[in-house]
Structure 1
Amino acid sequence: MNNPHKNARTTVHSRALIVTRRAEGRPVRRIAEELGISERTVFKWLRRHREGGVEALANGASAAPPAACLNASVAAAVRLRREYRLTAAEIAHKLRLARSTVARWLHRAGLGRLKALEPKEPPRRYQRERPGELIHLDIKKLGRFERAGHRVTGSRQGHRNRGAGWDFVHVAIDDATRLAYVEILADEKRGTTTGFLVRALRWFRSRGVRVERVMTDNGSAYVSKLFAKALRWLGIRHIRTRPYTPKTNGKAERFIQTLLREWAYAVPYPSSASRARDLPRWLMWYNRNRQHAALAGLSPETALNNLARNHS
């Protein structure tokens, strides 16, 4: 049987374009000119869409709207969302569709939230100019073990260290030079953390670095009165990261990843005590020899010496 609509001036796709462009505010005359049809035809399909929704744009011989029509409607909804920042309800009203249908399309397109339309914030990379201008502090928990675990043996059977507890690795890293000080302590309580702060500052001072600011997350020890009192007494400003944004303390996070990769998990230690004994060796190598791309290939100690001369 011949299709009576095969020579029609409008297809289901162009009918959907009529609805979309009208929803965008284009005049009927302009739509007609762009599609090469009469204004009367434009009004006809706008009326049918108004009365019957997207199904009314399909050919009468079809029992359901063809895929081309649906795809055009989806594209129209996405375009209205991207370019005009309309809500799902507003788009549904303009296209005469169910709000749930539009919401489903937008969700599949990754536009379920208006926030998705905001341009992504470029990464903010910064580096302090002077040694001691900013020191990053953080803590990493490592499980204690009395015999090699699955990372070494490759098997999780028979190598568990139940109840062995935790090592708390406290780190301090200078923003400008990446010079690092690390201790393994028994916990992360306020007294322990404050003690680490004082010893870290003393260590940096012995290398000619006078600390001006300290950055931490919002852990309980870091927001304690004892920690704040120590910083006030030492005349050091405390900067805390915004909640749920650990990337602002990114240099500490990246140093911890290096610490885990190149020390904690790099050697098949027979026990956590053996691992702890190896930390001073690794830390000395890190500060004296490890090259950093951010420091033009220099080690932390070399960068410290260069910056010290520049700011002397």
Structure 2
Amino acid sequence: MVHANAPLTAVGRERLARLIVEQGWPVRRAAERFQVSPATASRWSRRFREGEPMTDRSSRPGSSPGRTPMRLEHRIVSLRFSRRWGPHRIGYHLGVPRSTVGRVLHRYRMPPLAHLDQATGLPARRPTPIRYEATAPGQLVHVDIKKLGRIPDGGGWR
């Protein structure tokens, strides 16, 4: 959508196109007059010749790709289980982009190869993180400073 003070509103675009098409102005000269690039001027004059409207076209894609077929998804998952291949290798083998393979593996919640046990292929259990939890308030203090000055015994006023 064009704002009201834009150099080329729908009316301005039509005036520019009429100068070029009907009055025979050179594209460059008409573009200078309307303070737009010659490419913009030629675009609007071409659309005017073809009878298209002088409004912006939709930015919506012409076609949206569909979901990966279920059969291909099952082949990707079975290759991951049987051969323990990563997305690059599976994609090369099936002729599918690596990003598509990665998206399918993520959709089926397949863990990365680094998280699998090499012998069995099952997810390896990761060690639980060590948590530093306090049993009483004030027992655990986190200090994030650049430099710790000298603090006298018993504290200080600063």
Higher helix residue share: 1
- TM-score, with structure 2 as normaliser: 0.34
Structure showing greater relative contact order (alpha-carbon pairs closer than 8 Å, 6 or more residues apart): 1
- TM-score, with structure 1 as normaliser: 0.22
Higher strand residue share: 1
